[in-house]
């Protein structure tokens, strides 16, 4: 078992090397071992490219015959963008397959393991299962609900302020925390802010990492009356990512047209109004195969997202500064709650020091973003 864990951890590390690049597919890694020697390795690099098992089998060549294959997710057994991995494994003549977790995709959900076992291949599942679940928390939410995994990010002072009473907010946190923020932008499909953030800060909403390695997320602006300026950076800057303006029927038709002419995709989100229905918006983004959303909004958007129940995970940066002031804004606005029993509680917390700042992550459910895997 220790040997299985060793090779599975190697496969998990391979899978993680494609973090933020495989959406809407999962991250998957594979290692092939024969007579105690690693003969093949591979990972799924992006949607539409060869799956991890196929890459590892190509790396192993003829040495894959009678070998043991370690793979972080149950091999697929259906035709999607690529062919079934079960067929490739059987054709290669592997002897044993060790799986970290079963695939919750209804098209697979244990069928891949069953096909291998019926063909005489020994299958062991559940090796480093929790680590595999954690790695693919985005995929697990998306594939079972068809809605994106939502992360709410905030940066505050020690006394819970996001800006001074005069509106100054750059920079509350230090360089290390800001770089982590850009890494979050790099790994999630989309970044969501409210129109007030655009009007006040005119942000780029791009992922700026060393040596230009960042991948810009799709920009989603919650703007119920289409007030986004056509000269905003999010519309004029050079970026491989596009901008979505999520609005309502209350938005003037001419404003919608001008934003579309400026290059934005305008979505009229159905709902009672007067604000954008965030639950409906998540459904629409899921239909577009946007599997994850990072919320970097102000207090109004953050409060609305929490009230709507769309937040799965929180990423919170705390700076060791005290701003004070009755008029200094906080990170969550809205009507608030009447009793502490109604407060949003975080579970499965992690804490990390980033320079002089503290970085806290947690989940809004006790399951910590996990789901029940198929039996």
List alpha helices for 223-332, DSSP H: 233-236, 253-261, 278-287, 299-308
287 is catalytic: no
Binding site feature residues for substrate? 185, 205, 208, 296
Collect all residues with Cβ–Cβ distance below 8 Å to 7 and sequence separation of at least 6: 31, 33, 38, 70, 98
Token pair, residue 366, equals: 């006790």
Distances (CA, A) of 348 to 59, 98, 155, 331, 358: 38, 28, 20, 21, 16
Cα 52 to Cα 11: distance, rounded to the nearest angstrom: 9
CA distances 307 to 110, 189, 279, 349, Å, are: 36, 22, 10, 21
Q: What are the two backbone dihedrals, phi and then psi, of residue 156, each rounded to the nearest 5 degrees?
A: -135, 165
pTM of the predicted structure, to 2 decimals: 0.91
Number of Cα atoms under 13 Å in the Cβ half of residue 23: 27
Give the pLDDT confidence score for residue 83 in this predicted structure: 73
Query: Which residue is catalytic, options 37, 53, 117, 289?
Result: 53
Note the pLDDT of residue 217.
97
pLDDT of res. 173 = 93
Which residue ranges make up the annotated binding site for NADP(+)? 155, 169, 171, 197, 201, 224, 298-304
Using CA atoms, how far apart are residues 4 and 66, in angstroms rounded to an integer? 16
Per-position pLDDT tens, the chain of length 375: 699 999 999 999 999 999 999 999 999 999 999 999 999 999 999 988 999 999 999 999 999 999 999 999 999 886 666 678 999 999 999 999 999 999 988 787 778 999 999 999 999 999 999 999 999 999 999 999 999 999 999 999 999 999 888 887 888 999 999 999 999 999 999 999 999 999 989 999 999 888 777 899 999 999 999 999 999 999 999 999 999 999 999 999 999 999 999 999 999 999 888 999 999 999 999 999 999 999 998 899 999 999 999 999 999 999 999 999 989 989 999 888 888 988 899 999 999 999 999 999 999 987 665 554 444
Per-residue three-class SS string for 151-211: EEEEEECCCCCCCCCCCCCCCCCCHHHHHHHHHHHHHCCEEEEEHHHHHHHCCCCCCCCHH
Q: What is the pLDDT of residue 273?
A: 81
**Binding residue ranges:** 51, 76, 85, 155, 169, 171, 185, 197, 201, 205, 208, 224, 296, 298-304
> Tell me, what's the pLDDT at 109?
78
Question: Whole-angstrom distance between the N-terminal and C-terminal Cα of the chain?
Answer: 21
């Amino acid at each position: 078992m220790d040997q299985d864990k060793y090779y599975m951890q190697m496969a998990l590390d391979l899978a993680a090397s494609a973090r933020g690049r495989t959406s809407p597919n999962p991250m998957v890694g594979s290692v092939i071992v024969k007579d105690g020697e690693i003969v093949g390795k591979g990972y799924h690099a992006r949607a539409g490219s060869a799956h991890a098992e196929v890459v590892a089998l190509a790396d192993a060549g003829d040495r894959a015959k009678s070998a043991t294959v370690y793979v972080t997710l149950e091999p697929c057994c259906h035709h999607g963008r690529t062919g079934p991995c079960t067929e490739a494994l059987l054709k290669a003549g592997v002897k044993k397959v060790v799986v970290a977790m079963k695939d919750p995709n209804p098209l697979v959900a244990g069928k891949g393991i069953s096909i291998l076992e019926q063909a005489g291949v020994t299958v062991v599942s559940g090796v480093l299962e929790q680590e595999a679940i954690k790695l693919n928390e985005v995929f697990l939410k998306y594939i079972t609900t068809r809605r994106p995994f939502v992360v709410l990010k905030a940066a505050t002072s020690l006394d819970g302020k996001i800006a001074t009473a005069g509106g100054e907010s750059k920079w509350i946190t230090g360089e290390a925390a800001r770089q982590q923020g850009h890494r979050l932008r790099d790994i999630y499909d989309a970044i969501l802010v409210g129109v007030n953030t655009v009007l006040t800060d005119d942000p780029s909403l791009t992922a700026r990492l060393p040596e230009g390695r960042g991948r810009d997320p799709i920009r989603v602006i919650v703007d119920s009356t289409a007030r986004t300026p056509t000269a905003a950076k999010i519309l004029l800057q050079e970026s491989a990512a596009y901008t979505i303006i999520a609005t309502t029927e209350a938005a003037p038709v001419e404003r919608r047209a001008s934003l579309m002419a400026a290059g934005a995709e305008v979505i009229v989100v159905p709902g009672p109004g007067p604000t954008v229905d965030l639950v409906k918006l998540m459904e629409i983004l899921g239909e577009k195969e946007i599997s994850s959303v990072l919320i970097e909004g102000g207090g109004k958007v953050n409060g609305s997202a929490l009230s709507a129940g769309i937040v799965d995970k929180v990423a919170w940066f705390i700076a060791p500064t005290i701003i004070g002031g009755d008029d200094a804004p906080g990170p969550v606005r809205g009507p608030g709650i009447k009793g502490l029993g109604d407060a949003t509680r975080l579970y499965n917390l992690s804490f990390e020091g980033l320079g002089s700042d503290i970085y806290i992550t947690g989940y809004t459910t006790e399951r910590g973003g996990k789901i029940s895997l198929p039996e």
